[in-house]
Structure 1
Amino acid sequence: MTRTRRVVVTGLGTTSPLGGDVTDTWDGLVAGRSGVRRLADSAAFASWADAGIGADLPVGIAATAAVEPTEVLERVRARRLDRSSQFALIAAIEAWRDAGLDGPQEAGELDGERVGVAMASGIGGVQTLLSNYDTLRAKGARRVSPLSVPMLMANAPAATISLQIGARAAVNTPVSACASGNEAIALATDQIRLGRADVVVAGGTEAAIHPLPIAAFANMMALSKNPADPTTVSRPWDTARDGFVLGEGAGALVLESEEHALARGARIYAVVLGTGITADSHDIAQPDPEGRGGTRAIRRALEDGDIDPADVAHVNAHATSTPLGDVAEAGMLHATLGGHATDVVVTSTKSMTGHLLGGAGAVEGVATVLALHHRLSPPTINLDDQDPAVELDIATKARDLPHGDIVGLNNSFGFGGANVAVAFGSVR
């Protein structure tokens, strides 16, 4: 692809299992704090019990949001949004403000026709769908909310953000399972490079902590059933790993053409150097054990950004804490970075946040940008016995990153064989 415009990151926002904003989330990541909790301690669990569901769940933990969205959003507005849209809106508002775009612009008002949104979700408004189905069965068709469809549709988070900021360029919703959030960043980058927008809010959101998805993931042997302390269960690359922990939340990045950002005097966190998107065509759920699709995605991101593998200093890995996926990704890094693979500081923030599905790549994109910005890699916690098949330098404590021009990779892989890699570059 011809890269005609340089894309930069000027705003960050998130609400996660570690905090209700970027500052608290980043502080939690650097401190190595887990956001995994027992479901019995959550407000939702009581409502499930009242409805007579969830008592026999084989998994009793999840990385629930640290701050309830109803504590942030006005009550009436929150009631008209699915939980996934609530998370997305909170993260987007923070990112928009962080980019200095919530007030009068020194260079003139933003042209809404040059502002876009790419907000992903792997599952969409599942909470609204399931709760209204329960209403239908218990109380009849007339009691189903007339807002159900606008709340449950997959593009509701993106549409909600577009209404908030007046975006009238493309408003997109990539849906590629656990690669969705990272794919939104790649799509937004393309929109700016191709001159279709000057500013795009990109990211991903998910709110699927509900008995049905939990039971489904558990029955397909994807979730950890480790009965230990919940904070120790998500353990990427550890020999005792046995599945991921479901999380919820959202991440948002304001991407902007460099010329537009400079014209309005914006602070620049990082540069989006390259993106790579591929598919495995291997299995609907299992990763290609040889990691060929993921390897191509990383290689394409490096080629797209004209990046020397030796310049990669940090990788925020997809590593979900599953037996097959963690090893496959290690192989991808060796295949793309060569002998330099063991010199790169690698981390999996999912050890602390759990797996946010369609929101994962976005929250991890925020973490990757901040790692470059602060020259500091968050750790991977719970790594007590590293799998000998994983020959990587994995940070188990916060680790300093080099000064100078460095590159950080953000990897995401999803059901259906979706693979996305985004390479961010530091700024001085």
Structure 2
Amino acid sequence: MEKRVVITGLGVVAPNGVGLEAFTHAIKNGISGIKHDAELERLQFSCQIAGKPVISTELALKYFSELELRNFNSTGILYGVIAGIDAWKDAGLSMEINKEPDWDSGTIFGTGTSGIDKFRESIYKIDDFKTRRLGSTAVAQTMNSGVSAYLGGKLGLGNQVSTNSSACTTGTESILMAYERIKSGKAKRILAGSTSDSGPYIWGGFDAMKVCTFKHNENPENGSRPMSVSASGFVPGSGAGALILEDLESALNRGATIYAEVLGGNLNSGGQRGLGTMTAPNPIAVQKCIQDALKNSGINANDVDAINGHLTATSKDSLEIQNWSEALDRKGKEFPYINSLKSMVGHCLSGAGSIESVASVLQLHHGFVFPNINCADLHPEITAIIDESSIPQQLIEKDLNIIAKASFGFGDVNGCVIFKKYSYSPIGR
């Protein structure tokens, strides 16, 4: 018998808030975490603004020992471990160190890269014949699975411990992979999430591609403008989101807080065929991904109350709205609410899907739709498809039942997950 899967814990490290309380306050009030970045200016980037979480040494020492932090400079692992442990604690799970691994619990925690700054340091030391000065954690910091390895060790996880990587779809993919493992009975709970390193060595390639905005270096908070006619490219960001997915029976037995239920979802690729390329989505595949996610979740298009979109503040935003409209066969005033967290945090790359999923679940649990900022000048190609009322620019306090969250990544890969407000029923949903 397939298990029902619910969310019992959340953790987040975002540019506009580290921790659930700060993050919830920020998204409800439209607070931006995008700031001027002196290092990007020094390196003469076109885009000199970014969304970067603020992590003090004092905070880091709550998750790592002083010895662990010696020669440690992998921001992605730092963000991921903080978000992951926060989600674990939020779920009411024990941090006690046991002799036996927790065979029922695992983690699928994705990333795009790991330890870029440590890689750079390693290259220079090796070239200078100083290999022995790399330190004992150089491998753990630079291997892609470093974040899941750190989390697995700190939490004593004995089930699947792995790292997935699918560009901007990584976080959404990790949630769906965790969902499938729990639904099939192979695990009782999985810490799902994703993280992204920060800094010029991550963001430089995008600046070179000219997909980042260069028009808002003097007013950073106005720089990320999804769905806006004045959008001029995305703002680079970083951070991590984490969710504890758990089978319903286990959650009820523990008396855990249940934030939401995962009804299902879908992952696919456009194969870089038709209009799909390395950097552009195949619209047919995007629409199929959404429709198959609804089918997998056992719901109809009209059941969707809100959408948390990918919406990066590029020329593809209008295409994404069109794809949602066609996939759901809803337009004008019949279109559900839609918002983009990137208006407040920028594009957090491999961390985006999980951070945005945390925001989606918070909306369900607390009953609100967070505002889109910087889009008073909505693109006419978008308002030709859907009504302006579907794109809230002020907080809406409203009970929601179902939210669709989607991510579309480099390589023409897509993911859509369906979250539902939890309601107890002994059989079915």
TM-score (norm 2): 0.90
Out of 319, 323, 328, the residue aligned to residue 332 of structure 1 is 323
Alignment of 1:14-413 (within 5 A): 14-40=12-38, 45=39, 54-68=42-56, 71-73=59-61, 74-79=65-70, 80=72, 82-102=74-94, 112-137=102-127, 140-210=130-200, 212-227=201-216, 228-282=218-272, 283-288=276-281, 291-324=283-316, 326-339=317-330, 342-390=334-382, 391-392=385-386, 393-402=390-399, 406-413=401-408
Structure 1 portions without partners, runs of 5+: none
Label 1:84 to 1:373 Cα distance change in 2 as closer, same or farther (>3 A): same
Equivalent position amino acid for 1:330 in 2: I
Distance in 2 of aligned mates of 1:357 and 1:399: 27
Measured against aligned partners, the alpha-carbon deviations of 1:200-243 in whole angstroms (never above 9, x if no partner) come to 00000011322x33331111122111134000010001011111
Structure 1 contact 58–215 (Cα < 8 Å) conserved? no
**SS state at 1:323 partner:** coil
Structure 1 contact 35–66 (Cα < 8 Å) conserved? no
1:75 Cα deviation after fit: 3.1
Aligned residues: 408
Distance in 2 of aligned mates of 1:264 and 1:138: 55
Measured against aligned partners, the alpha-carbon deviations of 1:380-412 in whole angstroms (never above 9, x if no partner) come to 100021112113411111113345xx1101111
Distance in 2 of aligned mates of 1:68 and 1:340: 46
1:263 Cα deviation after fit: 1.0
1:352 Cα deviation after fit: 0.3
Distance in 1 of aligned mates of 2:90 and 2:289: 30
Distance in 2 of aligned mates of 1:427 and 1:398: 22
1:308 Cα deviation after fit: 1.4
Equivalent position amino acid for 1:400 in 2: E
Structure 1 contact 132–145 (Cα < 8 Å) conserved? no
Distance in 2 of aligned mates of 1:201 and 1:209: 26
Distance in 2 of aligned mates of 1:248 and 1:203: 13
1:110 Cα deviation after fit: 9.9
Label 1:359 to 1:70 Cα distance change in 2 as closer, same or farther (>3 A): farther
Structure 2 contact 325–335 (Cα < 8 Å) conserved? no
**SS state at 2:307 partner:** strand
Equivalent position amino acid for 1:226 in 2: K
**SS state at 2:380 partner:** coil
1:146 Cα deviation after fit: 4.0
Equivalent position amino acid for 2:323 in 1: M
Structure 2 portions without partners, runs of 5+: 424-429
Distance in 2 of aligned mates of 1:77 and 1:148: 11
1:417 and 2:405 matched: no
Label 1:170 to 1:318 Cα distance change in 2 as closer, same or farther (>3 A): same
1:315 Cα deviation after fit: 0.8
**SS state at 2:103 partner:** helix
Distance in 2 of aligned mates of 1:263 and 1:253: 19
Structure 2 contact 79–195 (Cα < 8 Å) conserved? yes
Measured against aligned partners, the alpha-carbon deviations of 1:364-392 in whole angstroms (never above 9, x if no partner) come to 11000000111101111000211121134
Share of identical aligned residues, percent?
A: 30
Label 1:337 to 1:400 Cα distance change in 2 as closer, same or farther (>3 A): farther
With 243-252 and 78-87 compared, the bigger mean Cα shift is at 78-87
With 111-120 and 315-324 compared, the bigger mean Cα shift is at 111-120
Distance in 2 of aligned mates of 1:69 and 1:373: 32
Label 1:351 to 1:175 Cα distance change in 2 as closer, same or farther (>3 A): same
Distance in 2 of aligned mates of 1:27 and 1:9: 21
Distance in 1 of aligned mates of 2:348 and 2:57: 16
* Alignment correspondent of 1:7: 5
1:422 Cα deviation after fit: 0.5
Distance in 1 of aligned mates of 2:288 and 2:57: 38
